[in-house]
Structure 1
């Protein structure tokens, strides 16, 4: 199939903007718990009316401090309650938040603030003040700087106390659906980040479509209030979409800035979300942590059997949904019920106990991992999208999930596969263009169609599978074309592997560089009675090399011999954002990695 269209389920927005939902929610149900806020380590409820009042007070303070309709205001912070507060306060007065990753370098910050002509910035802490301070002499438009950890919200709320509510409402009512809502910079695996101009209509279409089509995910069972804990970065379009969707869907929202298990798991247990939205990396970490725990307790055998039972059970349910099977048989149902008590329920309890569904995006998830979680009682709806598409353009729908794909187009969207395999997209969530970049905009937007640069295929039911990126396709010196992503993902599925990059452009064969997961390796050494090794000795351990070779052999089953990984090298350190080898959204910067590890790459071919 070359093209598939899903009919819309929501009408185009004719009036208003994103902030309206805050005021409408408070008017309709002022005492409903809208958000959770962590104060001195304890979660406190925030009602719709309380949130509206805080948004209003902050909006008045921003006006008092000179922020005007159409101004662009940077927010540089981790995911926290105050970010959502500022977003809706800025939208209330027609201003445009410009999200900045908290890990951005001084030069990256300079570029984004300069390119967007930012007039003020909100930062989280003193380190961010220093980062902006180091480039402030080159930012003549930047007039104000507020620091969250230094009481920015209270300070601004106080200075605007004399302004009447009506002034804010006049600004809010002047916002139209086609007004720019935010400028989100692409994380940029190559070249300089570009600012994607996302309108109020883009975000409203995206969020309302997901609310309508995935109601069973966003709404909980009777008598139980729906809630989610957001730990995705709000600087990323996925996190931003979640923020807006929860407010519009009237789902309780909490914020968690740290995805390390030691910080995240206690908050999941305390907040008890009914669903979560995450990238595959999070689900992989949860699974691997459960596997390590089982092995440490001498229960790896039963755990592996439980995994196999979950996968087979979910596959049988999937087959029944598609009319290709009878569903789980009696023996499998009994086995699944037993493992639910012994294994699956404990995993769900570790995630708060109430989660029954999740949404995943940002990168591809393996079919087996998706099946396992579904069999364990948490259905993960995988989707696909870009910054340029305001997050999701495809997503697996409830009751018709096809694991291993990113689903069909969401309602109101068309996916077209070009002759060269490139994915083209059309829908109300497609952005209006790049800020200050007319040539770059013209290169990707063609009469409303977005040429994504991604490669994919549609099956007979319109479900999309991502196969790679045009710019990342490798061509060996023998002329063989290879998409590295499927190979890399299969290698990365091994518990000991953190990252994998496949190389081979203009080379005689395909090879790979592999980095290790420190937690997994530490556990692996302990379980085998091996001494703790330094990085240099560890990568030469023959048993470890054998384990990684198994991962490579498994990956090679996906491709022909000419496309297979012939050799690999284990690296002593991971690829990090700090060293310029990953984007803030954890995508590989391929050229930078190949340059940094040029010696190691050469050794793969001449070592």
Structure 2
């Protein structure tokens, strides 16, 4: 079925401040007209940077749009886009938007069953895939969703000249479109002018922690409003240099790499592969950089591992300067002045500047983190080397742009103040409510969920929070995750889990205690950081599973948990824990693609471990489910230690 185009009268009434012709495509056309030869996008391909000017960008989008239309794509059709960050995939999304069709990005590592379910929910007939691997998944998904008519591929390796029925190359579609544009000189301009600010420019999706992901349509107006609000707050600036490495299915990538890039003329840099992103970062030298707390922590771990392996002089210099810089930042966190002087100057010359340069962050002026709480040591370390790292808060429903810290707002517990154009309040239940032109208008074909989320003009975020006297927001966790122990003590598992993950040795954790007498935790160690610790302390191992069960590793993790317990209210200490034999895996259904816990899966799969911890057992013979690379599943018997945490109250 074809989805109904937007009802213009209703849309205009909902957003009276929006101008109909003010679209992301109009911004692209304006950039191509005013700075045609300025580089808009760069991609590292086989070690060589390929550049696309704004004129190139516009030509690719309109040619692909014309070719897509020739293949039957109509207004309201949903077009799936899947793969890693690639110029042609961005061109494809905006080409679909020219036709008032709706690009729907999917996570590159999503298995076939998830993709087929998304196709069925969104009635997808056309998909754009990065390479042969993704094309194979599309064709396999046709076994369940038979209405997929056309798959367009970007990378020709293994496909060019051998296309199965219903498969065509991006270049071939673009060539068809170029022929149409040549025959009709006014078509390119007409394609850019077709969409209005009230049309959906991208269809994002919720995490799906408790069921099927919900579609979240973001219109041109939502995205541009969010970007302009952020720019007014100094969050973005004109002409930023940005690295597009986040998953294309995550709202942040579209907002940064497309929305803000069009509005503020970013230069968007695309790494050769996810595996080379940190290496390529040095050559890109971005001015703007966003990473999740997990990614910042992994970057810090990489530096610490490198320092441990470097020469004695370099290690001694690092060990002398960094604690002093950290102490200065900790004092600033407490509102005390500090820094400057000869020590800081020498540290900048010998340690901080070289580290920033080695990481590729030497030119970064705006560094951000969001998604969950960040550990104090991680936060302070990056600030200590000269990055003004700040936190922000947002959701897909508000274009990920709602609240952020100002440069002078140095705080671990808050996420800042609302952007200009965004209203915020806390309701009587402690839920964070937001209002503004960047707030979406409702879920995709889901009026019930839309009515629950949008009430009286306010977005009910589902997050619990409080506003400090200085106007800064504190995010406590999901309202729906407030649970009680057997004795009635209330707690939010996510709050405790995030603090456990402040430790460099803990990658994931699930805290269990609802309806029980005590809190227990399932811990997934960070293999790199714990492996480095084991190497330094003479702990032998051959695999993740073996390392996780070593007694000295249990002692290490118990110490990390005890540190967290010391800062938790009485009655909410973690009493017992297990080091799991594996990481939580989205392919096993334990976490979402954005690594949010699926608690029902955790509770069900690891129920025997949870019961054994609560019963006081010292170990458990656990039959572990495993998933092989071919998608088949099996089981493996594991003996897992169950450990107490000293001093838990």
Normalised TM-score (structure 2): 0.85
- SS in structure 1 at match of 2:118: helix
Q: Structure 1 residues 93, 168: CA separation in 2 closer, same or farther (over 3 Å shift)?
A: farther
Kept in 2: contact 1:414–1:427 (CA 8 A): yes
The CA deviation at 1:233 is 0.6
Task: Describe how 1:128-527 pairs up with structure 2 within 5 A.
Answer: 128-150=134-156, 152-163=169-180, 164-214=184-234, 217-219=236-238, 226-243=240-257, 244-256=259-271, 258-260=273-275, 263-297=276-310, 303=318, 305-316=320-331, 324-325=335-336, 327-328=337-338, 333-352=341-360, 353-527=362-536
- SS in structure 2 at match of 1:378: coil
Work out the CA distance in 2 between the residues paired with 1:303 and 1:491. Answer: 26
Work out the CA distance in 2 between the residues paired with 1:13 and 1:257. Answer: 38
Work out the CA distance in 1 between the residues paired with 2:151 and 2:185. Answer: 24
Higher mean C-alpha deviation, range 263-272 or range 12-21: 12-21
- SS in structure 2 at match of 1:162: helix
Kept in 2: contact 1:268–1:350 (CA 8 A): no
Work out the CA distance in 1 between the residues paired with 2:600 and 2:205. Answer: 20
- SS in structure 1 at match of 2:418: coil
- SS in structure 2 at match of 1:494: coil
Work out the CA distance in 1 between the residues paired with 2:30 and 2:178. Answer: 22
- SS in structure 1 at match of 2:223: helix
Work out the CA distance in 1 between the residues paired with 2:608 and 2:272. Answer: 37
Work out the CA distance in 2 between the residues paired with 1:518 and 1:167. Answer: 55
The CA deviation at 1:218 is 3.1
Kept in 1: contact 2:549–2:581 (CA 8 A): no
Kept in 1: contact 2:46–2:272 (CA 8 A): no
Work out the CA distance in 2 between the residues paired with 1:272 and 1:132. Answer: 36
Task: Provide, for residues 576-597 of structure 1, a one-character-per-residue CA deviation record: whole Å limited to 9, x for no partner.
Answer: 1111111111112122122221
The partner residue of 2:104 within 98, 107, 123 is 98
Kept in 2: contact 1:123–1:146 (CA 8 A): yes
Unmatched tracts of structure 2, length 5 or more:
1-15, 161-168, 618-649
Task: Provide, for residues 53-83 of structure 1, a one-character-per-residue CA deviation record: whole Å limited to 9, x for no partner.
Answer: 2222222221222222332111011122222
The CA deviation at 1:137 is 4.5
The CA deviation at 1:304 is 5.2
The CA deviation at 1:285 is 0.7
- SS in structure 1 at match of 2:411: coil
Kept in 1: contact 2:232–2:420 (CA 8 A): no
Alignment partner, residue 4 of structure 1: none
The CA deviation at 1:565 is 0.6
- RMSD value over aligned CA atoms? 2.2
Kept in 2: contact 1:474–1:503 (CA 8 A): no
Query: Which has the higher relative contact order, 1 or 2, with Cα contacts under 8 A spaced 6 or more apart?
Result: 1
Work out the CA distance in 2 between the residues paired with 1:506 and 1:599. Answer: 16
Task: Describe how 1:99-114 pairs up with structure 2 within 5 A.
Answer: 99-114=105-120
The CA deviation at 1:529 is 2.6
Alignment partner, residue 625 of structure 2: none
Q: Structure 1 residues 596, 300: CA separation in 2 closer, same or farther (over 3 Å shift)?
A: farther
Task: Provide, for residues 428-480 of structure 1, a one-character-per-residue CA deviation record: whole Å limited to 9, x for no partner.
Answer: 11111111211111111102211111111111122111111122223111111
Alignment partner, residue 29 of structure 1: 35
Q: Structure 1 residues 486, 337: CA separation in 2 closer, same or farther (over 3 Å shift)?
A: farther
The CA deviation at 1:308 is 3.2
Task: Provide, for residues 94-125 of structure 1, a one-character-per-residue CA deviation record: whole Å limited to 9, x for no partner.
Answer: 22101111111222212221222222100122
Kept in 1: contact 2:482–2:491 (CA 8 A): yes
The CA deviation at 1:172 is 2.8
Kept in 1: contact 2:27–2:262 (CA 8 A): yes
Normalised TM-score (structure 1): 0.91
Work out the CA distance in 2 between the residues paired with 1:301 and 1:316. Answer: 23
Work out the CA distance in 1 between the residues paired with 2:555 and 2:596. Answer: 27
**How many residue pairs align between the two structures?**
583
Kept in 2: contact 1:16–1:175 (CA 8 A): no
